[in-house]
Amino acid sequence: MKLLLAEDDAALAAELLRALRAEHFAVDHAVNGEDARHLGETEHYDAVILDLGLPVVDGVTVLRDWRTAGLTLPVLILTARDGWSDKVAGFKAGADDYLVKPFRVEELVIRLRALVRRASANGATRITCGPLVYDSGLGSFERDGLPLRLTGLEWRVLSCLILRKDVVVPRDQLIERVYDGDAEVDSNSVEVIITRLRRKIAPARIESVRGHGWRLHAEPDA
Q: Is the full-model pTM beyond 0.85?
A: no
Give residue 176's pLDDT.
Answer: 77
Surface-to-core class of residue 17, CB atoms within 10 Å of its CB (0-12 exposed, 13-18 middle, 19+ buried): buried
Helices and strands per DSSP (H, E), number in the chain:
8, 12
pLDDT-flagged residues of the chain (< 70): 81-84, 120-125, 137-138, 180-187, 220-222
Q: 47 in a domain, yes or no?
A: yes
Query: 108 with 165, same domain?
Result: no
One-letter amino acid for residue 102 of the chain? P
| Number of structural domains the chain divides into | 2
Give residue 148's pLDDT.
Answer: 93
CATH number at 106 reads 3.40.50.2300
Query: Helix 10-22 crosses helix 105-120 at what angle (to 10 degrees)?
Result: 60
Give residue 118's pLDDT.
Answer: 78
Tell me the C-alpha distance between 204 and 202, whole Å. Answer: 5
Q: Which residues contact 40 (CB under 8 A, 6 or more apart)?
A: 4, 48, 62, 66, 71, 73
Q: 97 in a domain, yes or no?
A: yes
Give residue 222's pLDDT.
Answer: 41
The domain of 110 spans 2-120
Q: Is the peptide bond before 102 cis (omega within 30 degrees of 0)?
A: yes
Spacing of C-alpha 140 from chain mean position: 14
Query: 70 with 102, same domain?
Result: yes
